[in-house]
Amino acid sequence: MAFLLRRLGSAIFVVFGATTLVFFVLNILPGDPAVLVAGDGASPATIANIQAALGTNRPLGVQYEDYLWRLAHGDLGASFATNEPVLSRIWAQFPATLELTFTSCVIAILLGVTLGVAAAMHEDRWLDRVIQTIVLFLTSMPSFWIGILLILVFSVWLHWLPAMGSGRPDQLILPSACLGLNVSGVLERMVRGSVLDVLHEPFVATLRGKGLRELPILLRHVLRNALIPVITLFGVLVGQLLSGVVVIETLFARQGLGRLIVDALSVRDIPVLQGVVLFVSVFYVFLNLLIDLSYAWIDRRVRN
Protein backbone atom coordinates (compact mmCIF):
# COMPACT_ATOMS: atom_id res chain seq x y z
CA MET A 1 0.00 0.00 0.00
CA ALA A 2 2.76 2.39 0.93
CA PHE A 3 4.50 1.37 -2.27
CA LEU A 4 1.37 2.11 -4.26
CA LEU A 5 0.98 5.55 -2.69
CA ARG A 6 4.62 6.40 -3.24
CA ARG A 7 4.47 5.43 -6.91
CA LEU A 8 1.19 7.29 -7.38
CA GLY A 9 2.65 10.38 -5.73
CA SER A 10 5.69 10.39 -7.96
CA ALA A 11 3.52 9.83 -11.05
CA ILE A 12 1.42 12.87 -10.15
CA PHE A 13 4.58 14.89 -9.62
CA VAL A 14 5.91 13.78 -13.00
CA VAL A 15 2.63 14.67 -14.72
CA PHE A 16 2.73 18.10 -13.12
CA GLY A 17 6.34 18.44 -14.20
CA ALA A 18 5.49 17.37 -17.74
CA THR A 19 2.75 20.01 -18.01
CA THR A 20 5.26 22.62 -16.86
CA LEU A 21 7.93 21.35 -19.24
CA VAL A 22 5.63 21.38 -22.26
CA PHE A 23 4.37 24.84 -21.37
CA PHE A 24 7.83 26.30 -21.02
CA VAL A 25 9.28 24.60 -24.08
CA LEU A 26 6.55 26.10 -26.22
CA ASN A 27 6.53 29.52 -24.50
CA ILE A 28 10.03 30.34 -23.27
CA LEU A 29 12.19 29.16 -26.11
CA PRO A 30 13.05 31.91 -28.58
CA GLY A 31 10.24 31.96 -31.08
CA ASP A 32 7.11 33.83 -30.07
CA PRO A 33 3.98 31.77 -30.79
CA ALA A 34 2.29 34.94 -32.09
CA VAL A 35 5.06 35.41 -34.63
CA LEU A 36 4.71 31.76 -35.59
CA VAL A 37 0.96 32.13 -36.01
CA ALA A 38 1.24 35.38 -37.96
CA GLY A 39 3.74 33.85 -40.36
CA ASP A 40 6.71 35.44 -42.07
CA GLY A 41 6.55 39.11 -42.91
CA ALA A 42 3.58 39.99 -40.71
CA SER A 43 3.38 43.61 -39.52
CA PRO A 44 4.09 44.40 -35.85
CA ALA A 45 0.46 45.47 -35.43
CA THR A 46 -0.81 42.06 -36.58
CA ILE A 47 1.58 40.37 -34.21
CA ALA A 48 0.45 42.58 -31.33
CA ASN A 49 -3.18 41.76 -32.12
CA ILE A 50 -2.48 38.05 -32.14
CA GLN A 51 -0.52 38.39 -28.91
CA ALA A 52 -3.50 40.05 -27.29
CA ALA A 53 -5.88 37.41 -28.62
CA LEU A 54 -3.68 34.56 -27.41
CA GLY A 55 -2.90 36.29 -24.17
CA THR A 56 0.82 35.88 -24.82
CA ASN A 57 1.54 39.57 -24.11
CA ARG A 58 0.96 38.97 -20.40
CA PRO A 59 3.83 38.11 -18.05
CA LEU A 60 4.81 34.46 -18.33
CA GLY A 61 3.97 33.77 -14.68
CA VAL A 62 0.40 34.95 -15.20
CA GLN A 63 0.10 32.89 -18.37
CA TYR A 64 1.39 29.83 -16.58
CA GLU A 65 -1.03 30.32 -13.70
CA ASP A 66 -3.89 30.73 -16.14
CA TYR A 67 -2.78 27.63 -18.06
CA LEU A 68 -2.63 25.50 -14.91
CA TRP A 69 -5.97 26.84 -13.70
CA ARG A 70 -7.70 25.96 -16.96
CA LEU A 71 -5.91 22.63 -17.08
CA ALA A 72 -7.19 21.80 -13.61
CA HIS A 73 -10.69 22.31 -15.01
CA GLY A 74 -9.99 19.99 -17.90
CA ASP A 75 -9.69 22.82 -20.41
CA LEU A 76 -6.82 22.53 -22.88
CA GLY A 77 -7.75 25.72 -24.69
CA ALA A 78 -9.06 26.21 -28.20
CA SER A 79 -7.37 25.58 -31.50
CA PHE A 80 -5.95 28.65 -33.26
CA ALA A 81 -6.96 27.25 -36.61
CA THR A 82 -10.53 26.03 -36.07
CA ASN A 83 -11.38 27.51 -32.64
CA GLU A 84 -12.65 24.08 -31.54
CA PRO A 85 -11.78 22.99 -27.99
CA VAL A 86 -8.50 21.07 -28.15
CA LEU A 87 -9.78 18.34 -25.86
CA SER A 88 -12.68 17.41 -28.12
CA ARG A 89 -10.34 17.21 -31.10
CA ILE A 90 -8.07 14.93 -29.10
CA TRP A 91 -10.94 12.65 -28.07
CA ALA A 92 -12.05 12.46 -31.70
CA GLN A 93 -8.60 11.30 -32.82
CA PHE A 94 -7.58 9.16 -29.86
CA PRO A 95 -9.42 5.91 -30.81
CA ALA A 96 -7.59 5.65 -34.14
CA THR A 97 -4.22 6.02 -32.42
CA LEU A 98 -5.15 3.63 -29.64
CA GLU A 99 -6.22 1.06 -32.22
CA LEU A 100 -2.93 1.38 -34.10
CA THR A 101 -0.81 1.31 -30.95
CA PHE A 102 -2.65 -1.73 -29.62
CA THR A 103 -2.41 -3.85 -32.77
CA SER A 104 1.25 -2.95 -33.31
CA CYS A 105 1.93 -3.84 -29.72
CA VAL A 106 0.32 -7.27 -30.17
CA ILE A 107 2.34 -7.87 -33.34
CA ALA A 108 5.54 -6.72 -31.64
CA ILE A 109 4.97 -8.99 -28.64
CA LEU A 110 4.08 -12.08 -30.70
CA LEU A 111 7.03 -11.59 -33.01
CA GLY A 112 9.50 -10.38 -30.39
CA VAL A 113 8.82 -13.15 -27.89
CA THR A 114 8.78 -15.91 -30.54
CA LEU A 115 12.01 -14.77 -32.16
CA GLY A 116 13.66 -14.10 -28.80
CA VAL A 117 12.85 -17.54 -27.41
CA ALA A 118 13.85 -19.26 -30.65
CA ALA A 119 17.16 -17.38 -30.70
CA ALA A 120 17.89 -18.19 -27.07
CA MET A 121 17.14 -21.90 -27.54
CA HIS A 122 19.61 -21.97 -30.43
CA GLU A 123 22.23 -19.76 -28.83
CA ASP A 124 25.21 -19.21 -31.13
CA ARG A 125 23.91 -21.63 -33.73
CA TRP A 126 22.83 -20.62 -37.23
CA LEU A 127 19.19 -19.89 -36.36
CA ASP A 128 20.30 -17.53 -33.61
CA ARG A 129 22.64 -15.75 -36.02
CA VAL A 130 19.94 -15.43 -38.68
CA ILE A 131 17.49 -14.00 -36.13
CA GLN A 132 20.11 -11.61 -34.74
CA THR A 133 20.82 -10.33 -38.24
CA ILE A 134 17.12 -9.81 -38.99
CA VAL A 135 16.71 -7.99 -35.69
CA LEU A 136 19.72 -5.79 -36.38
CA PHE A 137 18.02 -4.62 -39.56
CA LEU A 138 14.58 -4.27 -37.95
CA THR A 139 15.96 -1.98 -35.26
CA SER A 140 18.12 -0.01 -37.71
CA MET A 141 15.52 0.73 -40.38
CA PRO A 142 13.57 3.95 -39.93
CA SER A 143 9.95 2.94 -39.31
CA PHE A 144 8.72 5.06 -42.20
CA TRP A 145 11.08 3.33 -44.58
CA ILE A 146 9.72 -0.07 -43.51
CA GLY A 147 6.31 1.46 -44.19
CA ILE A 148 7.32 2.61 -47.66
CA LEU A 149 8.69 -0.83 -48.52
CA LEU A 150 5.48 -2.47 -47.27
CA ILE A 151 3.39 -0.07 -49.38
CA LEU A 152 5.54 -0.76 -52.43
CA VAL A 153 5.23 -4.53 -52.08
CA PHE A 154 1.68 -5.01 -50.81
CA SER A 155 -0.13 -2.02 -52.33
CA VAL A 156 1.73 -0.92 -55.42
CA TRP A 157 2.91 -4.28 -56.76
CA LEU A 158 0.59 -6.92 -55.33
CA HIS A 159 -2.53 -4.73 -54.86
CA TRP A 160 -3.42 -6.75 -51.77
CA LEU A 161 -3.83 -4.02 -49.19
CA PRO A 162 -4.74 -0.33 -49.24
CA ALA A 163 -1.88 2.09 -48.60
CA MET A 164 -3.97 4.96 -47.27
CA GLY A 165 -6.75 5.86 -44.93
CA SER A 166 -8.13 4.55 -41.66
CA GLY A 167 -11.32 3.08 -40.28
CA ARG A 168 -11.50 -0.30 -42.00
CA PRO A 169 -9.61 -3.30 -40.61
CA ASP A 170 -7.65 -3.88 -43.83
CA GLN A 171 -6.32 -0.33 -43.61
CA LEU A 172 -4.88 -1.17 -40.22
CA ILE A 173 -2.72 -4.09 -41.39
CA LEU A 174 0.18 -2.30 -43.06
CA PRO A 175 0.67 0.51 -40.52
CA SER A 176 0.52 -1.81 -37.55
CA ALA A 177 2.80 -4.36 -39.23
CA CYS A 178 5.25 -1.58 -39.90
CA LEU A 179 5.29 -0.26 -36.32
CA GLY A 180 5.16 -3.77 -34.87
CA LEU A 181 8.14 -4.94 -36.92
CA ASN A 182 10.10 -1.86 -35.95
CA VAL A 183 9.54 -2.31 -32.23
CA SER A 184 9.74 -6.13 -32.11
CA GLY A 185 13.52 -5.97 -32.57
CA VAL A 186 14.11 -4.28 -29.22
CA LEU A 187 11.79 -6.76 -27.53
CA GLU A 188 13.53 -9.73 -29.16
CA ARG A 189 16.90 -8.69 -27.74
CA MET A 190 15.49 -8.34 -24.26
CA VAL A 191 13.62 -11.67 -24.40
CA ARG A 192 16.66 -13.49 -25.75
CA GLY A 193 18.89 -12.15 -22.99
CA SER A 194 16.36 -12.87 -20.31
CA VAL A 195 15.66 -16.43 -21.48
CA LEU A 196 19.40 -17.13 -21.70
CA ASP A 197 19.89 -15.90 -18.14
CA VAL A 198 17.24 -18.30 -16.89
CA LEU A 199 18.45 -21.21 -19.06
CA HIS A 200 21.86 -20.95 -17.39
CA GLU A 201 20.41 -21.20 -13.90
CA PRO A 202 21.03 -24.41 -11.97
CA PHE A 203 17.34 -25.29 -11.60
CA VAL A 204 17.10 -25.83 -15.34
CA ALA A 205 19.97 -28.33 -15.17
CA THR A 206 18.12 -30.07 -12.34
CA LEU A 207 14.94 -30.29 -14.42
CA ARG A 208 16.93 -31.68 -17.33
CA GLY A 209 18.56 -34.14 -14.95
CA LYS A 210 15.12 -35.27 -13.83
CA GLY A 211 14.54 -36.25 -17.46
CA LEU A 212 12.07 -33.54 -18.43
CA ARG A 213 11.88 -32.75 -22.13
CA GLU A 214 13.02 -29.37 -23.41
CA LEU A 215 9.57 -28.11 -24.39
CA PRO A 216 7.87 -28.51 -21.01
CA ILE A 217 10.95 -27.04 -19.32
CA LEU A 218 10.72 -24.06 -21.61
CA LEU A 219 7.00 -23.47 -21.36
CA ARG A 220 6.41 -24.29 -17.72
CA HIS A 221 9.58 -23.13 -16.05
CA VAL A 222 11.84 -20.95 -18.15
CA LEU A 223 9.34 -18.61 -19.79
CA ARG A 224 7.55 -17.94 -16.54
CA ASN A 225 10.71 -16.61 -15.00
CA ALA A 226 12.18 -15.06 -18.10
CA LEU A 227 9.21 -12.94 -19.11
CA ILE A 228 8.88 -11.11 -15.77
CA PRO A 229 11.75 -8.67 -16.36
CA VAL A 230 10.49 -8.16 -19.91
CA ILE A 231 7.36 -6.50 -18.49
CA THR A 232 9.44 -3.51 -17.45
CA LEU A 233 10.41 -3.02 -21.08
CA PHE A 234 6.77 -2.66 -22.02
CA GLY A 235 6.82 1.01 -21.02
CA VAL A 236 9.80 1.75 -23.26
CA LEU A 237 8.02 -0.14 -26.01
CA VAL A 238 4.88 1.96 -25.78
CA GLY A 239 7.02 5.10 -25.68
CA GLN A 240 8.61 4.01 -28.95
CA LEU A 241 5.23 3.20 -30.44
CA LEU A 242 3.82 6.59 -29.46
CA SER A 243 6.88 8.21 -31.05
CA GLY A 244 6.50 6.12 -34.19
CA VAL A 245 2.81 6.88 -34.49
CA VAL A 246 3.51 10.49 -35.47
CA VAL A 247 5.39 9.52 -38.59
CA ILE A 248 3.41 6.41 -39.47
CA GLU A 249 0.02 8.11 -39.32
CA THR A 250 1.34 10.75 -41.69
CA LEU A 251 2.82 8.18 -44.05
CA PHE A 252 -0.37 6.10 -44.25
CA ALA A 253 -2.65 9.17 -44.21
CA ARG A 254 -4.46 7.82 -41.16
CA GLN A 255 -6.53 9.69 -38.61
CA GLY A 256 -5.04 9.95 -35.15
CA LEU A 257 -3.10 12.01 -32.65
CA GLY A 258 0.13 11.91 -34.60
CA ARG A 259 -1.61 13.27 -37.64
CA LEU A 260 -3.21 15.95 -35.45
CA ILE A 261 0.26 17.00 -34.30
CA VAL A 262 1.68 17.16 -37.82
CA ASP A 263 -1.33 19.14 -39.06
CA ALA A 264 -1.03 21.49 -36.09
CA LEU A 265 2.64 21.97 -36.93
CA SER A 266 1.94 22.99 -40.50
CA VAL A 267 -0.50 25.74 -39.44
CA ARG A 268 1.46 26.52 -36.25
CA ASP A 269 -1.44 25.72 -33.98
CA ILE A 270 0.29 25.93 -30.59
CA PRO A 271 -2.65 25.01 -28.29
CA VAL A 272 -3.32 21.82 -30.24
CA LEU A 273 0.35 20.92 -30.20
CA GLN A 274 0.59 21.60 -26.48
CA GLY A 275 -2.61 19.70 -25.76
CA VAL A 276 -1.73 16.57 -27.72
CA VAL A 277 1.82 16.29 -26.39
CA LEU A 278 0.50 16.74 -22.87
CA PHE A 279 -2.25 14.19 -23.39
CA VAL A 280 0.15 11.59 -24.77
CA SER A 281 2.67 12.23 -21.99
CA VAL A 282 0.04 11.81 -19.28
CA PHE A 283 -1.14 8.60 -20.94
CA TYR A 284 2.47 7.42 -21.07
CA VAL A 285 3.21 8.26 -17.43
CA PHE A 286 0.13 6.47 -16.14
CA LEU A 287 0.79 3.47 -18.34
CA ASN A 288 4.28 3.26 -16.85
CA LEU A 289 2.78 3.53 -13.38
CA LEU A 290 0.46 0.65 -14.20
CA ILE A 291 3.39 -1.41 -15.46
CA ASP A 292 5.41 -0.72 -12.31
CA LEU A 293 2.50 -1.69 -10.10
CA SER A 294 1.76 -4.88 -12.01
CA TYR A 295 5.44 -5.74 -11.87
CA ALA A 296 5.44 -5.32 -8.12
CA TRP A 297 2.31 -7.45 -7.96
CA ILE A 298 3.89 -10.25 -10.00
CA ASP A 299 7.33 -10.09 -8.42
CA ARG A 300 7.06 -9.32 -4.73
CA ARG A 301 10.80 -8.80 -4.36
CA VAL A 302 10.54 -5.39 -6.04
CA ARG A 303 8.35 -3.85 -3.36
CA ASN A 304 11.16 -3.09 -0.96
Partner 1 sequence: MSGHILKSTLLAVFGKAETRAPVKAPPRWRLRGHAAIVLPAIIIALILLCAIAPGWLAPYGPSDMDDNAILAAPSWHHLLGTDQFGGDVATAIIYGARQSILVAFGAIALGATFGTVIGMISGYGGGRVDAVSMRLIDVWMSVPPMLLALIVAAALGGGFSSTVIAIASMIVPRFARVIRARVIGIKILPFITAARAMGASRVWILWRHVLPHTGSVILVLATVGVAEAIIIGASLSFIGLGVNPDQPDWGYLLSEGRNYLTDAWWYATFPGLAITLLVVSVNLLGDALRSRTESRQGQK
Q: Applying CB under 8 A, does 64 fall inside the site for partner 1?
A: no
CB atoms within 10 A of CB 98: 14
Smallest Cα–Cα separation from 105: which of 194, 192, 172? Answer: 172
Q: How many CB atoms lie under 10 A from the CB of residue 12?
A: 13
User: Which region among 137-145, 192-200, 213-221, 294-302 touches partner 1 (by CB under 8 A)?
Assistant: 137-145
Q: Which of 31, 59, 74, 211 binds partner 1 (CB under 8 A)?
A: 31
For partner 1, the closer CB: 19 or 218? 19
**Nearest partner of 86 among 278, 253, 222, judged by Cα:** 278
30 binds partner 1 (CB under 8 A): yes
The candidate with the shortest Cα–Cα distance to 70, out of 132, 32, 19, is 19
- Does residue 139 belong to the site contacting partner 1 (CB under 8 A)? yes
Is 259 within 8 Å of 22 (Cβ atoms)? no
Closest distance between partner 1 and the C-beta of residue 40, in Å?
10
Single-letter code of the amino acid located at 302: V
Under the binding rule (CB under 8 A), the answer on residue 250 touching partner 1 is yes
Tell me, by CB under 8 A, how many residues bind partner 1: 51
For residue 97, what are the β-bridge partners?
Answer: none
Q: Give the separation between CA 185 and CA 194, rounded to whole angstroms.
A: 14
Q: Mutual orientation of helices 270-298 and 86-121 as an angle, nearest 10°?
A: 40
124 vs 300, which CB is nearer to partner 1?
124
List binders of partner 1 among 253-292 (CB under 8 A): 261-262, 265-266, 268, 273-274, 277, 280-281, 284-285
CA angle 249–165–77, rounded 5-degree value: 55
Q: Is 149 in the site for partner 1 (CB under 8 A)?
A: yes
72-77 contact pairs (CB < 8 A, 24+):
76/271, 76/274, 76/275, 76/278, 76/279, 77/271, 77/274, 77/275
Q: Which of 4, 36, 98, 127 binds partner 1 (CB under 8 A)?
A: 36
Name the one range near partner 1 by CB under 8 A: 24-32, 49-57, 100-108, 219-227. 24-32
Q: Do residues 9 and 283 make contact, with C-beta atoms less than 8 angstroms apart?
A: no
Question: Looking at 12, 136, 205, 298, which residue binds partner 1 (CB under 8 A)?
Answer: 136
| Amino acid identity at 176 | S
Minimum CB separation from partner 1 for residue 220, in Å?
A: 32
Nearest approach, Cβ of residue 187 and partner 1 (Å): 16
Looking at the DSSP assignment, which residues form a beta bridge with residue 85? 78
Q: Which residues bind partner 1 (CB under 8 A)?
A: 10, 13-15, 17-18, 20-22, 25-26, 29-31, 36, 136-137, 139-145, 148-149, 151-152, 156, 163, 239-240, 242-244, 246-247, 250-251, 261-262, 265-266, 268, 273-274, 277, 280-281, 284-285
